Amino acid sequence: MWLGDLSIRLIRMLILPVVLVTVINGATPEQIALVVGFTLAFDLPLDMWRTLVNVRGNLAVATLVEKWEDEFDEEICENS
């Protein structure tokens, strides 16, 4: 479940309690804190993995387009 705008880091932690109170009537603050704390522990590593996959995908597509258009320079990649 995606909550919030992905470009704003950790906005999900602000929206999640509001959604929990709305969806689960009678949710106590302790229950909400438990869910937010559990989610917060996994949010940063998952965010880093999503960024890694996104960057690698962008690099792969850019390389494929350069090769397709015959603009890829092998010497630049070998010297880097």
Domain residue limits at 53: 11-79
Q: How far is CA 55 from CA 45, 48, 49, 63, in A?
A: 15, 11, 10, 12
Q: How far apart are the two ends of the chain, measured CA to CA in Å?
A: 40
Residue 73 falls within a domain, yes or no?
yes
Task: Report yes or no on 1 lying in a domain.
Answer: no
In a domain, 55, yes or no: yes
Distance (Å) of CA 2 to CA 16, 26, 33: 10, 23, 19
Say if residue 4's pLDDT is above 60: no
Query: Which residues neighbour 63 within 8 Å (Cβ) at sequence distance 6 or greater?
Result: 72
Mean pLDDT computed over every residue of the chain: 80
Over the stretch 54-63, which tens digit does the pLDDT of each residue have?
Answer: 899 999 999 8
Tell me the pLDDT tens digit for each residue of 16-40: 777 777 787 878 888 888 888 888 7
Q: Is the pLDDT of residue 65 over 90?
A: yes
Spatial separation of the C-alpha atoms in residues 54 and 19, rounded to whole Å: 27
2 found inside a domain: no
How many structural domains does the chain have? 1
